[in-house]
Amino acid sequence: MNRLRIIVLSFILLCLSCSSLHPDRPVFKKGDFSGAVSVLDSIIRSNLEQQRIPGAAVALVHEGRVIFSQCYGYADTKKKVPITEDTYFMAGSLTKSFTALAVLKLIEEGKIDLNANIKKYIPDFSIRNLYDGEPLITVNHLLTHTSGLMVDYYAHLTGGKKYSNFDLLSQLRNEYL
């Protein structure tokens, strides 16, 4: 689990750093990890400072082997608690990207139809519509956030309570698009 967090954070930092890559940046030969690690470390440090990010945990993995792992900054800046490989980070909306990637892989394999009604995959799915008839919500609608599901629907589902799929579907039946 800790490695997953580290990989996710490294992905975020690399995405943030794309804007800071200069066209004259060094180019490395395949397998030149020491040079790449040095540049990666420099990019991370620079972005943490420029973006005022208090800290990060980063790992670079190649063919299943960790070739770089580093913790930067503080988990708690007031108490000066450093980030370690055991520091927990909130995944937040990043899970949407991983879910979309997984669904797209299933579409590529022919296991999910992008334009299929979501009820094909979740038969108990039901939500009220302000207009007559049951709304058609497709996989594509969910992936592109165009289904009509309200953002504030999730507000009452926050907190420490865990909900089963049945509970979530039951709650959804009381909501409107």
Does the annotation mark 93 as catalytic?
Answer: yes
Count CB atoms within 10 A of the CB of residue 41: 15
> Under a CB-based contact definition with an 8 Å cutoff, are residues 81 and 75 in contact?
yes
**Which is catalytic among the residues 38, 46, 69, 93?**
93
- Tabulate helix, strand, coil % of the chain (nearest 5): 40, 15, 45
Residue 37's alpha-carbon distances to 8, 25, 48, in angstroms, are: 17, 14, 16
For helices 33-50 and 2-17, angle between their N-to-C axes, nearest 10 degrees: 80
Q: Which residues are catalytic?
A: 93
